[in-house]
Amino acid sequence: MEGPSLLEELDTPALVVDLDVMDWNIERMAALARQAGVRLRPHVKTHKSPWIAHRQIRAGAAGITVAKLGEAEVMIEAGITDIFVAYPIVGEPKLRRLERLLNEVDLMLAVDSVEAAESVAQAVRRSGRATARVCIDVDTGHRRLGLPPGAATVELAERVARIRGLEVVGLMSHAGHLAAASSQPALAEAARRAAEALVETAETLRKRRLAIEHVSPGSTTGAAFEAQVPGVTEIRPGTYVFNDRNTVERWAASEADCALTVLTTVVSRPSPDRAIVDAGSKVLSSDPAAGGAPSFGLIAGRPDLKLERLSEEHGILSVDPAGGELRVGDRLRVIPNHVCPAVNLSDVLYGCRDGRVVREIRVAARGRYR
């Protein structure tokens, strides 16, 4: 490894991963899945790094989830073969890429419409493969992709199952709406209800002779509750590997479980109530805080500092004058609101143990949005 080996020598801003905390996060989620008797298929969009994906697999993950073919390509290159592409694949350029990938790996694919299913089936037929496994994406409340559970999804699944080249093997959902829950009991209840709707729809489909193997709700905030719902076979959390301010706000982690922080330097103290750090939206992203708090990250260990505004290269802190000292040149650590887009802004994460940088982790699938 080139570059500095002490945290203090790192230039800023820098994304620093406490590998002990990360390993603990990986192990804890693997244990949660094991104890509940479900498969764990982490979404790798959070870290976009084959090195970390392999660690998740070694800890017990059954395979990985990706959103885009570009992410799948990077992970296949790194030797990972059990991959679920949880995104409808539409358009000729992508179908050509899919065809090539199917020749190599038995990808599992998500579809949420007959149109997407028919075009994916074309790619399957053009590949050397007789069939590809697909999961139907179901809208359990997030109002993004998918049809509602029950009749609408049952009809869609049956139509997709009749398309030559496709084998309907599962139902998936992403309960993104849990982020809006106002309390942990409300979140738990919403997560359970969403997962149960998925299970019931799977039951209906099985009665109609579709061999639904996978019932897979997916989110970090809901994972602990989803895994307990009888009939759920798999969970697909992503953010848990690092956690972030929003998983803390959603009761799924504590600040101590946040493995990734952005190391930043105070570059200006223009007034007693204001400080400027060198981490702006080009390193943190401008993703808002879950729950609507008007701040762009937590300053670790410094409740007297609030990250109130971001420019591209500036973080503007409001400073409580009754708090501690803060001078030009001081270094702070920011827990980002949302760690996934922050990682996607960097080429390298600095993995450290006990204050030493022990590994530069390449964000190999950064920017692979196609």
**Residues found near its own copies in the complex (CB under 8 A):** 4, 9-14, 45, 67-68, 87-88, 90-94, 97, 112-113, 115-116, 119, 139, 143-147, 176, 265-270, 274, 276, 278, 280-283, 285-288, 309, 311-314, 316, 327-329, 340-341, 344-347, 367, 369-370
Nearer to its own copies among residue 82 and residue 330 (C-beta): 330
**How far is residue 92 CA from its own chain's centroid?**
27
> Smallest distance from the beta carbon of 91 to its own copies, in angstroms?
5
* Neighbour-count burial for 183-212, b at 16+ CB within 10 Å, e otherwise: eeeebbebbbebbbbbbebbebbeeeebeb
Instruction: Return the ∠ at Cα 369 (arms to 364 and 370), rounded to 5°.
Output: 110
Nearer to its own copies among residue 180 and residue 228 (C-beta): 180
Nearer to its own copies among residue 118 and residue 213 (C-beta): 118
> Smallest distance from the beta carbon of 228 to its own copies, in angstroms?
26
CB of 343 closer than 8 Å to CB of 44: no
Between CA 18 and CA 194 the distance in angstroms is 33
Nearer to its own copies among residue 177 and residue 214 (C-beta): 177
Query: What are the two backbone dihedrals, phi and then psi, of residue 50, each rounded to the nearest 5 degrees?
Result: -60, -35
> Smallest distance from the beta carbon of 297 to its own copies, in angstroms?
14
Burial class (CB in 10 A: 0-12, 13-18, 19+), 308: middle
SS3 205: helix
> Smallest distance from the beta carbon of 230 to its own copies, in angstroms?
28
Strand ranges, E, within 104-208: 108-111, 132-137, 166-173
SS3 336: strand
Query: What are the two backbone dihedrals, phi and then psi, of residue 271, each rounded to the nearest 5 degrees?
Result: -150, 160
Nearer to its own copies among residue 119 and residue 233 (C-beta): 119
> Smallest distance from the beta carbon of 311 to its own copies, in angstroms?
6
Nearer to its own copies among residue 54 and residue 269 (C-beta): 269
> Smallest distance from the beta carbon of 143 to its own copies, in angstroms?
7
